Structure 1
Amino acid sequence: MEELSSALNSHMDQMADLVEKFSAEMRSSLRPAYDNFIGFFHAIDWTEPWLVGLLSFHAVFLLVCIVSRKNINFQMFLFLFALGGVYGAERLNRILAANWKSFARQNYFDSHGIFLSTLWSGPLLVISIIILVNTLFSLCYLIVRWKKAELRHRARLASNKEE
């Protein structure tokens, strides 16, 4: 019995060491990502009018999506519009990179499109996911309504046969 207890204790100590090492690795490997995000955030001049306009566009677009959540056809239009915006992001990045001096104080548009992916495509994809989830909920609601109507119809048919 004592051997079992000592084996169990040694196993628990070993597991505690593994968890401690894993959590230390996770904390240390997340630190560079956090530092990169903070550097990215501070490198941007958030007072530039075109950036304020872009963020305002995303806020208004999200608001329109939330307000129109009951209109599935309009939601599908917004969904396709958002995905079209993501699809055109590469071309938009090339155009903006060629003409950045006419609207910005510094060139944010690298060849990989990281900036535009973060501030243009990212919010559009989040809004698309919100629309998709809303559509799935609406479809579930319609399926429930349809099934209830079908059950009521069957009950009426059954009651008519009994009479």
Structure 2
Amino acid sequence: MEDLRAALKEHADLVTDLFERFSAEIRTGFRPAVDNFVGFFHAIDWKEPWLMCLLAFHVFLLLTTIFTRKYINFQLFLSILAFSGVYLAEKINTLLGKHWQSFASQNYFDPQGLFLSVLWSGPLLFVTIIIVVNTLFTLCQLIIKWKRAELKHRARLSRSKED
């Protein structure tokens, strides 16, 4: 019984310690995250041509996704393309890390791939989320149409049985 009490006390102390650390982190707010983001943002030379092309590509992909929202097959193609880009991000990061001198003024491609994750994979995943939400919305509309047609069909059948 003493072992159980000791284990419960130890567990309670551990939970209390975790709760205190968690609440201390919450009290500090989002300031450290904002500082890290601002530092990341200022460390990048946004006037480099390849970065401008990358951002233009993402804007083009986003606009294409929005304007082709009614074409489900094309949206499927775009999502496969976006997922492939995310899948290949590690290999792209390695390749660009080896050859950064030929197109960039500094090496943005760290071994962890943070830069490429933020500026390549992040927007691709955002586009994919838009495609998934659009697909779910389209499926809901299709289910509504199907259910209405089913109800009309049942109403016709019941009218024909009454006659």
TM-score normalised by structure 1 residue count:
0.84
Give the corresponding residue for 1:145: 145
How far apart are 1:162 and its partner, in Å? 1.4
Residue 41 (1) aligns with residue 27 (2)? no
Residue 121 (1) aligns with residue 121 (2)? yes
Letter in 2 for 1:55: L
How far apart are 1:26 and its partner, in Å? 2.6
How far apart are 1:29 and its partner, in Å? 4.7
Q: Which runs of 5+ in 1 are unaligned?
A: 1-21
Q: Which runs of 5+ in 2 are unaligned?
A: 1-22
Give the corresponding residue for 2:55: 55
Cα pair distance change 1:27/1:48, threshold 3 Å: farther
> Percent of aligned pairs with the same residue?
62
Give the corresponding residue for 1:101: 101
Distance 1:33 1:161 in 2: 68
Give the corresponding residue for 2:75: 75
Letter in 2 for 1:44: I
Distance 2:119 2:82 in 1: 13
How far apart are 1:95 and its partner, in Å? 0.5
Give deviations 1:32-51, integer Å, cap 9, x for gaps. 21111111000000000000
Give deviations 1:102-158, integer Å, cap 9, x for gaps. 110100000000000000000000110011001000000000000000111111111
Give deviations 1:37-89, integer Å, cap 9, x for gaps. 11100000000000000000000000000000011111111111111100000
Residue 30 of structure 2 aligns to a residue in which SS? helix
Distance 2:41 2:27 in 1: 21
Distance 1:154 1:32 in 2: 61
Give the corresponding residue for 1:14: none
CA RMSD of aligned residues (A): 1.6
Corresponding pairs, count = 143
Letter in 2 for 1:87: Y
TM-score normalised by structure 2 residue count:
0.84
Give the corresponding residue for 1:7: none
Letter in 1 for 2:72: I
How far apart are 1:30 and its partner, in Å? 2.2
Letter in 2 for 1:126: F
How far apart are 1:99 and its partner, in Å? 0.6
Distance 1:80 1:119 in 2: 19
